[in-house]
C-alpha cells in the first residue's frame, strides 16, 4: 500500500473527474469511465509552449495504434479548458496542436497533478506518463523534467509488454523486448532456456 502522497507502480490509479476539451467541445471526463480499457495519462506542463506540442501531436498521430491495443489517451495540464480549446483551434504551424484524437483535461486546481505526485514547485505538472491497466492499476510510470520530451515508440513497447505479461502470467519480458521476441519463464529451471539462447 502506498504511503500518503507517494504513488507507486501497482497502486490503484487515483480517481478524478474534470472538464476536458475534445472535438472542439467541453466534456466531463471521469477516470472510472475507462475501466475495461488501458489508459495513457499524459501529463505535460503548459499549452502554448515548445516541447509540449511535439508530444501532444505525436501521441495523437499514433492514436490508431493505441486504439488497436484497447487503449485510450488523456492529456492533462494545469491550463483551463478555455486555454485547451484555443490551443486546439490553432493550426500546428502557428503554434497550436489542431484537432486531436484524444481529450485534453483541465487540471486548473492542480488536484490531479497533486494526486499523481508530479506537481513541481512552480505549480506546473512535470512530464509524467502513466500506463493504467484495464482494472485501474498503474503498471508503468515515467517522469521527465520540463525540457525533455518522451518517446511514443517506447510507450507503445512498454504497453505491449504490460499487456503480454498480463495475458501470460507465467512469463516475463527481458530488456529491450519487442513483440515476437523470446520471453523468460518464471521458473528457475525453465528460465534457463532463455539464457541458453542469448
Q: How far apart are CA 133 and CA 115, in angstroms?
A: 18
52 catalytic? Reply is yes
**Annotated catalytic residue, options 52, 83, 135, 173:** 52
Residues taking part in catalysis: 52
Amino acid at each position: 500500500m502506498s504511503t500518503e502522497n507517494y504513488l507507486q507502480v501497482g497502486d490503484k490509479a487515483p480517481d478524478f473527474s474534470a472538464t476536458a476539451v475534445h472535438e472542439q467541445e467541453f466534456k466531463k471526463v471521469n477516470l472510472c469511465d475507462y475501466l475495461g480499457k488501458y489508459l495513457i495519462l499524459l501529463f505535460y506542463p503548459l499549452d502554448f509552449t515548445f516541447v509540449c506540442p511535439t508530444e501532444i501531436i505525436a501521441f495523437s498521430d499514433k492514436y490508431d495504434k493505441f486504439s488497436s491495443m484497447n487503449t485510450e489517451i488523456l492529456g492533462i495540464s494545469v491550463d483551463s479548458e478555455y486555454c485547451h480549446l484555443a490551443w486546439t483551434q490553432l493550426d500546428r504551424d502557428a503554434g497550436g496542436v489542431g484537432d486531436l484524437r484524444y481529450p485534453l483535461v483541465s487540471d486548473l486546481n492542480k488536484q490531479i497533478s497533486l494526486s499523481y505526485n508530479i506537481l513541481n514547485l512552480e505549480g506546473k505538472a512535470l512530464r509524467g506518463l502513466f500506463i493504467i491497466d484495464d482494472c485501474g492499476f498503474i503498471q508503468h510510470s515515467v517522469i521527465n523534467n520540463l525540457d525533455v520530451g518522451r518517446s511514443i515508440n517506447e510507450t507503445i513497447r512498454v504497453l505491449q509488454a504490460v499487456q503480454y505479461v498480463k495475458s501470460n502470467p507465467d512469463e516475463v519480458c527481458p530488456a529491450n523486448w519487442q513483440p515476437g521476441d523470446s520471453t523468460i519463464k518464471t521458473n528457475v529451471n525453465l528460465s534457463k532456456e532463455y539464457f541458453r539462447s542469448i
